[in-house]
């Protein structure tokens, strides 16, 4: 088995080993993974943090030894960049930028220095911190497979916000819906709980973070705030329901 680490800001993870392949997720700076299949130009990898799999370009990661993978993947020592954009200085004194949620605990291995503080991942943060972080992404553009403030999808948004605060969620909305406790009514929910929405075939395709007073923050076109009721999401710009509510879950 081979192992790797993302040593640039963000790497697209694709469904197929091709630049034309659908982007299903992204790998952020400092994240580690197992290399399941190595080819001339592409590698199929499994991320440590959520076990998500896909293909990444061989030019866009650094291979590491198993001992480093094990140490860098220790959840008790993981910390994250807390600013939307963080400047890093490489050992050759050149500069790069990374994005919020990047795993900066890997910086010592990569010989990089940071211009900002980090969020410690050793202990779970208070639940109210979820919305504080979520609001920083307001108006970030929607991007299928995206996990950053310059492009993010609905489940990438909820996963990243929870992960930065010390809680693990799966990558896709349908997978996240298997976490937590089902609530019967919106009134039973607290800010930070998750609402899930399904399509006409009953498949869960959307997720958002519940706010107080029956509002929800979610990625739909952009990260936005709309109303939430027993029918679903009521878009405040178009005055129509855009998503049909399937369930509400208390994760924490």
pLDDT confidence of 116, banded at 50, 70, 90?
low
Same domain, 43 and 133: no
pLDDT higher than threshold 50 for residue 205: yes
Backbone CA torsion sign across 32, 38, 44, 50: negative
Same domain, 93 and 193: no
Same domain, 133 and 48: no
CB 141 within 8 A of CB 150: yes
Same domain, 25 and 80: yes
CB 110 within 8 A of CB 5: yes
Question: Average pLDDT, stretch 102-126?
Answer: 77
Which of 120, 146, 172 marks a domain boundary? 120
Same domain, 55 and 147: no
Which of 55, 86, 120 marks a domain boundary? 120
pLDDT higher than threshold 60 for residue 45: yes
Same domain, 163 and 235: yes
Same domain, 88 and 50: yes
Same domain, 90 and 170: no
Question: Domain with 86 in it: what CATH number?
Answer: 2.30.30.40
Tokens linked to 103:
């795993």
Same domain, 140 and 231: yes
Tokens linked to 123:
């202990």
Which of 63, 98, 120 marks a domain boundary? 120
Same domain, 172 and 218: yes
As a whole number of angstroms, the distance between CA 100 and CA 118 comes to 10
Domain that holds residue 73: 2-120
The proportion of the chain whose per-residue pLDDT surpasses 90, expressed as a percent, equals 81
Question: Domain with 147 in it: what CATH number?
Answer: 3.90.1720.10
Same domain, 139 and 73: no
As a whole number of angstroms, the distance between CA 241 and CA 206 comes to 13
pLDDT confidence of 122, banded at 50, 70, 90?
very low
pLDDT in tens, 70-108: 999 887 778 888 888 999 998 889 999 999 999 998 888
pLDDT given for residue 119 in this prediction = 59
As a whole number of angstroms, the distance between CA 218 and CA 225 comes to 7
Same domain, 142 and 214: yes
- Counting the structural domains of the chain, the total is 2
């Amino acid at each position: 088995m081979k192992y790797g680490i993302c040593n640039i800001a963000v790497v697209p993870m694709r469904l197929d080993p091709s630049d034309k392949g659908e982007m299903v997720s992204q790998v952020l700076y400092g994240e580690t993974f197992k290399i399941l299949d190595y080819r001339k130009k592409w590698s199929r990898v499994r991320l440590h943090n959520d076990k998500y799999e896909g293909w990444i370009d061989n030019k866009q990661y650094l291979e590491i030894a198993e001992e480093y993978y094990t140490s860098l993947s220790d959840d008790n020592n993981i910390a994250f960049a807390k600013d939307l954009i963080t400047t890093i200085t490489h050992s050759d004194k050149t500069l790069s930028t990374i994005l919020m949620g990047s795993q900066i605990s890997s910086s010592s291995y990569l010989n990089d220095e940071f211009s900002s503080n980090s969020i410690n991942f050793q202990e779970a943060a208070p639940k109210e911190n979820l919305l504080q972080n979520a609001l920083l992404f307001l108006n970030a553009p929607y991007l299928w497979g995206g996990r950053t403030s310059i492009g993010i999808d609905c489940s990438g948004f909820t996963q990243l916000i929870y992960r930065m605060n010390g809680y693990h969620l799966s990558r896709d909305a349908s997978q996240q819906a298997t976490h937590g406790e089902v609530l019967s009514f919106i009134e039973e929910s607290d800010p930070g709980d998750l609402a899930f929405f399904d399509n006409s075939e009953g498949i869960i395709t959307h997720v958002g973070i519940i706010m107080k007073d029956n509002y929800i923050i979610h990625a739909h076109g952009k990260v936005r705030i709309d109303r939430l009721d027993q029918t679903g999401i009521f878009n405040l710009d178009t005055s129509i329901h855009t998503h049909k509510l399937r369930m509400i879950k208390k994760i924490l």
